[in-house]
Structure 1
Amino acid sequence: MAIVSMPLLALLSLLAWLPTPVSAQSERPATAVIASDAERQTWSDPLEALGTVRADESVTLSATVTEIIRAVHFEDGQRVAAGDLLVHLEDLEEQAELAAAQARLVEQRNALERARGLAERNLGARAELEDARARVQQAQADIEAAQARLAAHRVQAPFDGVVGLRDISPGMLVSPGTALVRLDKLDIVDVDFTVPSRHLGALSRGQTITASTDAYPGRRFSGRVTAIDNRIDPATRSIMLRARIENDDGALRPGQLMQTILERDRREVVAVPESVLLPQGEHQYLFVIEREAMTVERREVEIGERRDGWVEVVAGVESGERLVRHGIQKVRDGDAVRVLDVADEDNPIREILRRHRDSLDAEQNRP
């Protein structure tokens, strides 16, 4: 009897070490996981640089005559339209000169009419008629000169924009070259930035840039390259680019420092969150969730570049496929899973874990 029981005991021991049948494995409870989807994104090769904001149009209006300021027609930071009167200088003498020139024109025109009448009746010399016409033309030129002198006493906005701080007052004596007001067009601004000249072959007009500034944390401004300088700085071996940015709300100001990112070689890629990858040696794997069967498939993928927590997948996954992102260490190929939620920018993993903490604790404590 003892001789028969020894092989039986050996057989029982061997059976205890055999793997669990597939049917038994399929009876395991579904593992709770958090998922993310493979996304199609637009990527580029970023080139970072520091830039400076410039107004699309900018001018400092100055006096062209020596005169006293009669009136100031703007306030600090006021938005003005092209043609608006900004500064009015004393112009009584110029107005008197204009009135005198206009009176002389009337007089010379009357003289011309008389000379024409005499010439038609052959009572006057032809030369006198020509002299009268010349005097009329001279009177007209005098009026235009008087109007030009009068216009020099009225400083108008050459384009729509925003004026700077006011540093002048009525009664102030100004002379040619005295700055009266600064005017900037700010609905569109330019950002000038330099990049190493070795990138010249990859630069072109129309490329997209993203700019940010410490004044507005978290805000991004988009623009396009409008010009590339035709010279390279021999000292720094860099080249200057100019990009245009819409600035309807006036957030950006001339002279402001900007951190710019120039997007080169834009392309469409399939990207996945970096945390879905399971590296093993030189290979990369992830778990794809079969949505109907709610099981996972372990799949090898070929990856490319990495960007801010995302990884480019060159082969192995298609856009829209659902992947295990949290709980990847607890699942095996073919396991059944239960998706608690899909994580994205608006629904981070931390918030999902907070909402499902009790169910996750129960999952971990389950034998």
Structure 2
Amino acid sequence: MILSPLHSFLRRRWPALLLGLLLALPVSAQERTAVIGARATLTDWSDPLEALGTLAAEESVTLSATVTETIAELAFEGGERVEAGQVLVRLDDREERADLRAAEARRDERRSAVTRLAQLQERNLAPRAEAEDSRAQLRQAQAEVEALEARLTDYRIRAPFAGVVGFRRVSVGTLVTPGMELATLDKLDRMKLDFRVPEVELGSLAPGMRLSAESAAFPGSRFRGEVAAIGSRVDPVSRSVPVRALLPNPEQRLRPGMLMEVTLQRRPRQALVIPESALIPEGERHFVLVIHEGDDGRIERRRVRLGERRPGEAEVLEGLAPGDLVVSHGVERTRDGARVRLLGVADETTSIREILEAGRGRGGA
């Protein structure tokens, strides 16, 4: 079915239009002004501080060789998760293994010589010096075997920790040299988020402070973490201090290098909050219309002192108590001392749209 432009407009805007019609009805038609209320509630609150940060893996390493040799085997393709100690690259070690076998043979020969001399010495048929010299040669042969075994470990490049391996940059048969990059390995279960805040905010920062972060890659998703460390120096040019936070990343959606919009939650507290739509500004002063439910819906115009604000909400420092009911929609249609008809109370479980639909079902008057 194809909707006309007027039909589409009305479909999108009908809740607001219906509210206007209900509030615009003459008092004689509806007896009292219809309003929607909201309660002053205690809510978790904090003063936001925004910054831009860059992600890094909690642990990150570039895998490289320490010897010059050709690659004999690659045990990864890139992008997969590997476990700590898993062999990722095997270099050609045939020559080193041959040297090891030769060293082991010399060690076994020296061990047999030591055994024979020990037996002869027990019968006083071999000089003591010759036996000691044979034992020294055995220790030397054993040390040579251990050195070759240690050198062979350089021909196996293993994952130093569990993580996600990056794309491989070499192929089987490639001649690698010490320091040559073969792949990257990142531990992504938890991410480091580095950002900077102005020097003047240094006094409000502390390890353990909670924060949230958003990325353009995941619209609508918030990643929460906490401050892990605060830099020891202030940049004399930008007058900012570096901060590092840790973000859990169990689903591994975040990646190193991503840009994040950070919001620090300073001074976390319980605050008395009302909708901004309930405020009546007059210069630097602010008022609200309190509905006295026990006095037949009488309106009291009351001055309030505000604290911080965030989109759609305001913190009330003085003038209201938890549970007080204020007019949130229809403020301009009533006044101090008047009596109103409450259409409903908007909160987390009841939306304005639901209140309007219920009012329409009752005839709107």
Above 0.5 in TM-score? yes
Check the 8 A contact 1:46/1:261 in 2, yes or no.
yes
Contact conserved, 1:295 with 1:334, CA < 8 A, in 2?
Answer: no
SS in structure 1 of the partner of residue 233 of structure 2: strand
Matches within 5 A, 1:159-238: 159-238=161-240
2:256 corresponds in structure 1 to 254
Please say which of residues 46-55 and 154-163 is displaced more in the overlay.
46-55
Gapped runs of 5+ residues in structure 2?
1-26
Q: Which amino acid aligns with 1:72?
A: L
Instruction: Please say which of residues 68-77 and 34-43 is displaced more in the overlay.
Output: 34-43
SS of 2:221's equivalent? coil
TM-score, structure 1 normalization:
0.84
Aligned to 1:6: none
Task: For residues 9-38 of structure 1, give each alpha carbon's deviation from its aligned partner in whole angstroms, at most 9, with x where no partner exists.
Answer: xxxxxxxxxxxxxxxx9xx84543222221
d(CA) in 2 for partners of 1:187, 1:47? 26
Deviation, 1:83, is 0.4
Using the alignment, how far apart are the partners of 1:173 and 1:335 within structure 2?
89
Q: 1:242 aligns with which of 244, 247, 265?
A: 244
Tell me, in whole angstroms, the C-alpha distance in 1 between the residues paired with 2:319 and 2:221: 35
Alignment partners' CA distance in 1, 2:274 and 2:51: 28
Give me the whole-angstrom Cα distance separating, in 2, the residues matched to 1:339 and 1:79. Answer: 59
Distance change >3 Å, CA 123–CA 280, structure 1 → 2: same
* Contact kept? 2:299, 2:340, Cα under 8 Å: no
Partner of 1:14: none
1:303 corresponds, among 303, 306, 309, to 306
Matches of 1:296 and 1:71, distance apart in 2:
84
Q: Secondary structure at the match of 2:305?
A: strand
Instruction: Provide structure 1 residue ranges, at least 5 long, that are not aligned to the other structure.
Output: 1-24
1:69 pairs, out of 68, 71, 83, with 71
**Would you say 1:39 and 2:41 are equivalent positions?**
yes
The answer (yes or no) to whether the contact 2:47–2:308 under 8 Å persists in 1 is no
* More deviation, 143-152/37-46: 37-46
Shift of 1:134: 1.5
Superposed CA deviations along residues 26-81 of structure 1, whole A, max 9, x for unmatched, are xx845432222212123333222111101100001011111111111112200011
Indicate the larger mover: 239-248 or 165-174: 165-174
Q: Give the AA of the match of 1:106.
A: D
Which of 264, 267, 275 is the aligned partner of 1:265? 267
- Identity among equivalent positions (%) equals 50
Q: Which runs of 4+ in 1 moved over 6 A?
A: none
DSSP-derived class of the 2:148 partner = helix
Cα distance in 2 between the residues matched to 1:272 and 1:199:
28
Write out aligned runs for 1:68-147 (5 A).
68-147=70-149
**How far apart, CA to CA, are the structure 1 residues paired with 2:116 and 2:293?**
104
Query: Highest Rg: 1 or 2?
Result: 1
- Report the count of equivalent residues: 336
**2:153 and 2:211 mapped to 1: Cα distance?**
43
TM-score, normalised to structure 2, is: 0.84
Partner of 2:303, secondary structure, is strand
Evaluate the alpha carbon distance shift between residue 121 and residue 296 of structure 1 in structure 2; reply closer, same or farther with a 3 A threshold. Answer: farther
Describe the shift of the 1:300–1:104 C-alpha distance in structure 2 as closer, same or farther (beyond 3 A). same
Amino acid at match of 1:323: V
For residues 356 and 95 of structure 1, what CA distance do their matches in structure 2 show?
A: 87
CA change 1:331–1:165 in 2 (3 A) is same
8 Å CA contact 1:161, 1:184 repeated in 2: yes
Aligned to 2:56: 54
Alpha carbons 2:53, 2:194 under 8 Å: kept: yes
How far apart, CA to CA, are the structure 1 residues paired with 2:38 and 2:212? 27
Equivalent residue for 2:334, pick from 304, 309, 331: 331
